[in-house]
């Protein structure tokens, strides 16, 4: 799997941070703390599809203490950017960072965070990765790219290792432009069709991935909680992101229906005017998932705080 652009990952990071479910992130941190109590070594985390380390930047300050992250991705070009991107981020926080080949080390006050990268084909080699080397597993914006068969393998791999998982920002198919415009439905249908293609793992689950993984995990008696983590894009400050989303919508729709060019051009003109006037808003639905194998009661109280549709 490849094709993700580092500039795009940087542009979306602000929206990802705002959308993440704080209750699920806190519960994941608590699950890790229970594991940390059993040893004094740094907290060990594996990030599947780690890209340029957005998960690390979002979670490391929340988790605290010494940490050792391993970023796993097929795209070596993205992994190559990790040291410089983490170093720049750390400097902006007032922390020290030392870059190295294939990684970086951050000194955040008394805490030391080590990051290393590893190229891997997760489609073929998931089971070759020993999940027991880590205290927890994370992934973001990744599960909707894989197949149902891979999700079943992943659930078994996770439960067999008895490791908690925080999977964030999985697209769930909800995409709502405001105000409504003619041919919004055409755009929506095109995205759903496009998301079902093969992204290197077989036929992609697409928008149903969060629910599908939850079903796989529950079948293995693994506690699971789900929560919405929607992008909320709108206003003058978000105009560049809205323009990018509108351009992407047209490009995807043209891939699906080459004969819709005139209709899509009119749709884009409408959105251009709305974005320029600050009227446009876009909600893109995502879901976060927390799984805690071997901790059957750990999510009971958390589920009571989540909306019924997000459990």
Q: Which helix (H) or strand (E) holds 211?
A: helix 209-219
Q: Domain limits of the chain?
A: 6-170+202-233+285-310
Predicted local confidence at residue 38, as pLDDT: 66
Predicted local confidence at residue 296, as pLDDT: 60
Q: Cα–Cα distances in Å, from 45 out to 36, 131, 183, 190, 218?
A: 12, 9, 44, 36, 23
For 12, other C-beta atoms within 10 Å of its C-beta total: 18
For 107, other C-beta atoms within 10 Å of its C-beta total: 13
Predicted local confidence at residue 37, as pLDDT: 67
- CA Rg value for the chain: 20
Q: Which of 79, 192, 188, 69 is nearest to 134 (CA)?
A: 69
Q: Cα–Cα distances in Å, from 74 out to 77, 79, 119, 126, 169?
A: 9, 9, 5, 12, 19
Tokens of 131: 């999940």
Q: State in Å, rounded, how far the first CA of the chain is from the last one.
A: 30
Q: Dihedral of CA 256/260/266/267: which sign?
A: negative
SS3 77: helix
Tens digit of each residue's pLDDT, the chain (311 residues): 445 688 888 999 999 999 999 999 999 999 998 877 667 789 999 999 999 999 999 999 999 999 999 999 999 999 999 999 999 999 999 999 999 888 999 999 999 999 999 999 999 999 999 999 999 999 999 999 999 999 999 999 999 999 999 999 999 989 999 999 999 999 988 888 877 777 788 888 989 999 999 999 999 999 999 999 999 999 889 999 999 999 999 999 999 889 999 999 999 999 999 999 999 999 999 999 999 998 765 565 565 456 444 44
Cβ atoms 131, 122 nearer than 8 A? no
CATH superfamily of 6-170+202-233+285-310: Vaccinia Virus protein VP39 (3.40.50.150)
Question: For the chain, how long is the longest CA-to-CA vector?
Answer: 63
φ, ψ of residue 17 in degrees (nearest 5)? -60, -40
Cis omega (within 30 of 0) on the bond before 179? yes
Model pTM score = 0.92
Predicted local confidence at residue 305, as pLDDT: 52
Predicted local confidence at residue 276, as pLDDT: 95
Cβ atoms 153, 161 nearer than 8 A? no
d(CA 182, CA 129): 48
């Amino acid at each position: 799997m490849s094709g993700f652009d580092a500039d795009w990952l940087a542009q979306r990071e602000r929206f990802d941070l705002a959308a993440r479910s704080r209750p699920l992130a806190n519960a994941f941190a608590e699950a890790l703390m229970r594991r940390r109590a059993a040893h004094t070594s740094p907290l060990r985390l594996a990030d599947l599809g780690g890209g340029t380390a957005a998960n690390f930047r979002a979670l490391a300050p929340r988790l605290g203490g010494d940490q050792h992250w391993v970023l796993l991705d097929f795209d070596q070009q993205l992994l190559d950017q990790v040291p410089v991107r983490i170093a720049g981020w750390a400097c902006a926080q007032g922390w020290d960072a030392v870059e190295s080949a294939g990684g970086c080390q951050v000194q955040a006050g008394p805490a030391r965070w080590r990051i290393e990268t590893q190229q891997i084909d997760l489609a073929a080699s998931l089971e070759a990765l020993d999940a027991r080397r880590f205290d927890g597993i994370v992934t973001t914006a990744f599960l909707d790219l894989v197949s149902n068969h891979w999700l079943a393998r992943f659930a078994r791999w996770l439960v067999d290792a008895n490791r908690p998982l925080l999977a964030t920002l999985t697209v769930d198919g909800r995409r709502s432009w405001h105000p409504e415009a003619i041919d919004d439905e055409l755009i929506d249908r095109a995205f759903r069709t496009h998301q079902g293609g093969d992204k290197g793992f077989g036929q992609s689950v697409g928008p149903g991935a969060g629910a599908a993984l939850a079903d796989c995990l529950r079948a293995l008696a693994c506690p699971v909680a789900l929560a919405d983590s929607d992008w909320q894009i709108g206003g003058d400050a978000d105009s560049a992101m809205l323009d990018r989303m509108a351009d992407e919508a047209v490009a995807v729709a043209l891939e699906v229906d080459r004969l819709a060019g005139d209709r899509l051009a009119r749709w884009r003109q409408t959105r251009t005017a709305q974005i320029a006037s600050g009227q446009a808003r876009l909600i893109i639905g995502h879901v976060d998932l927390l799984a805690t194998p071997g901790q059957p009661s750990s999510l009971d109280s958390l589920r009571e705080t989540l909306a019924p549709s997000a459990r």
